[in-house]
Amino acid sequence: MTKGNPFKIDFFKQESIAPLIMFRIIFGAILLFSSVRFIYKGWVTTQYIEPQFYFGYLGFEWVKPLPGNWMFLPFVIMVISALFIVIGLFYRYSTFVYFLCFTYVELIDKSNYLNHYYFVSLMVFLLIFVPANRDFSIDVLRRPHLRRKLVSAWHIGILKFQMAVVYIFAGIAKLNSDWLLEAQPLKIWLQAHHQIPLIGNLLQEEATAYLLSWGGCFYDLFIVFFLLQRKTRPFAYIVVIFFHLVTWLLFPIGVFPWVMIFSTTIFFSVKFHRTLLLALKSIFKWPAYVPDKIDAKPKANSFVKLALVIYIFIQIVIPFRYVLYPGNLFWNEEGFRFSWRVMLMHKEGLATFYIKDKATGRTIEVDNSDYLTVRQEDQMATQPDMILQYAKFLKSEFDGKTFSNSTKSITLRDPEVNAEVFVALNGRRAQLFVDKKHDLSTLNYNLKHRNWLEPFEK
């Protein structure tokens, strides 16, 4: 960053490598813990082996889970790759392999989508291109000529940028009437914590919901700017820890708070990171750095600049793609994913599907639990694209099936798939979401506006 302006970056200015090395170790440890935890919790089985049907992403429906227990393979590979990232062994290959395995797993079923999974994919992708193994790594022990004390500013700056995107866009997303004027969905969620000792009654107060709503918005919008300033950084990081510990205690959001608490250390001063790195080197008796030649400042690379500008542009534009669609974003969810809208809505749905024989008019009600896990059904019942995908799956599942009763048998030929779906958004009464007059199996699954949804009534 240029002197006097903490927000302007000279891409190729030389900076200490210490923050990059510490980030590799810290973030790699998070990846290692998360990968082991996923296996330990049994989620590989419940999310990727047991389901009969998977909600693939548009354009990636071809991504399927490996058969049976082979699905553990990518997770085992992730554990090994994460360990290699921490110790800096075969670093480029390890980050690339982790990125491929992690992104592959996340593309299998969108019902498992979480913002911090998307964040992890992006950060590991960026780590592929930064030299975070050029000091305090097994790679350097194997190949001493790799060792460096300095790196270009963009290597650290792009990681800070990605962190900033998460926070700032999460704050922008909170600038809506439900969050600020109605304190929803926090009013709903805090009511569920009345049993917490000492603070349970306080959480029931309406004022608490408003305080947390406005405080959360202010935090997301401005925390990065306070972290960038040396004078405000210590106080800002205390707020980071407090904020994420509170969300971890109150809400079921997994390791996301810990990911953010530790990843935010990338904003700390070079002196802080250098002190930590020297302490680690002392513990492990690391050999002193005696360079053969002074690290030379690399020449400005036009390709690198262009790639960075394109990446930054994409990260800024994607969260705003929702403006291309009419209607309420929280209702139709067109442009909702991959836009850092973290814990912004409480949606409950009831989806009943019907298979209709065109020849006889006979209708069969589908038991969703025959085909979907509890998690999948909960996610599907409020998300239009998943409703449509499930309808098309049911069409293929029932087409050609024969049903018998006491008088005759009926073989379904090109049946209709209808659904009656009711959804309640942020504490409002349930409203009709999908009318069963539509044959969902005939509708196209694409990026166009879903005009078959019922309009949102405020």
Alpha-carbon span 256 to 243, nearest angstrom: 12
Alpha-carbon span 184 to 213, nearest angstrom: 8
Selected residue with higher pLDDT from 224 and 4: 224
Question: What six digits make up the tokens of 229?
Answer: 């300033």
Question: What six digits make up the tokens of 207?
Answer: 């004022």
The predicted-structure confidence for 35-68, as pLDDT tens digits, reads as follows: 999 999 999 999 999 999 999 999 999 999 999 9
Alpha-carbon span 75 to 397, nearest angstrom: 30
Torsion angle of alpha carbons 226, 228, 230, 234, nearest 10°?
50
- At residue 106, does pLDDT exceed 60? yes
Lowest mean pLDDT among 54-63, 239-248, 331-340, 393-402: 393-402
Alpha-carbon span 368 to 303, nearest angstrom: 51
DSSP three-state, residue 16: strand
Lowest mean pLDDT among 55-59, 104-108, 159-163, 339-343: 339-343
Please measure the distance between the N-terminal and C-terminal CA atoms of the chain and give it in whole angstroms.
47
H or E stretch covering 365:
strand 363-365
* Mean pLDDT value of segment 224-229: 97
- Confidence band of 401 (pLDDT split at 50, 70, 90): confident
pLDDT number for residue 360 = 82
Alpha-carbon span 26 to 10, nearest angstrom: 25
Selected residue with higher pLDDT from 300 and 354: 354
- At residue 293, does pLDDT exceed 70? no
pLDDT number for residue 241 = 97
- Confidence band of 178 (pLDDT split at 50, 70, 90): very high
- Confidence band of 251 (pLDDT split at 50, 70, 90): confident
**Surface-to-core class of residue 167, CB atoms within 10 Å of its CB (0-12 exposed, 13-18 middle, 19+ buried):** buried
Question: What six digits make up the tokens of 260?
Answer: 């953010």
* 365 bridge partner residues: 354
DSSP three-state, residue 370: helix
What pTM, to 2 d.p., does this model score? Answer: 0.93
pLDDT number for residue 368 = 96
The predicted-structure confidence for 303-325, as pLDDT tens digits, reads as follows: 999 999 999 999 999 999 999 99
H or E stretch covering 225:
helix 206-228
Helices (H) and strands (E) in the chain, counts: 18, 8
Helix ranges (H only) for 318-449 are 329-332, 374-380, 384-398
Alpha-carbon span 205 to 150, nearest angstrom: 52
Q: From its phi and psi, is residue 8 left (phi > 0), alpha (psi between -120 and 50) or beta?
A: beta
pLDDT number for residue 193 = 82
| Residue 157 near residue 14 (C-beta atoms within 8 A) | no
- Confidence band of 359 (pLDDT split at 50, 70, 90): confident
34 DSSP 8-state letter: H
- How far is the CA of 301 from the CAs of 12, 127, 186, in angstroms? 9, 19, 47
Question: What is the DSSP code string of 103-154?
Answer: HHHHHH-GGG--HHHHHHHHHHHHHHHS-TTSSSSHHHHH-GGG--SEEEHH
* Mean pLDDT value of segment 443-448: 94
Alpha-carbon span 434 to 448, nearest angstrom: 17
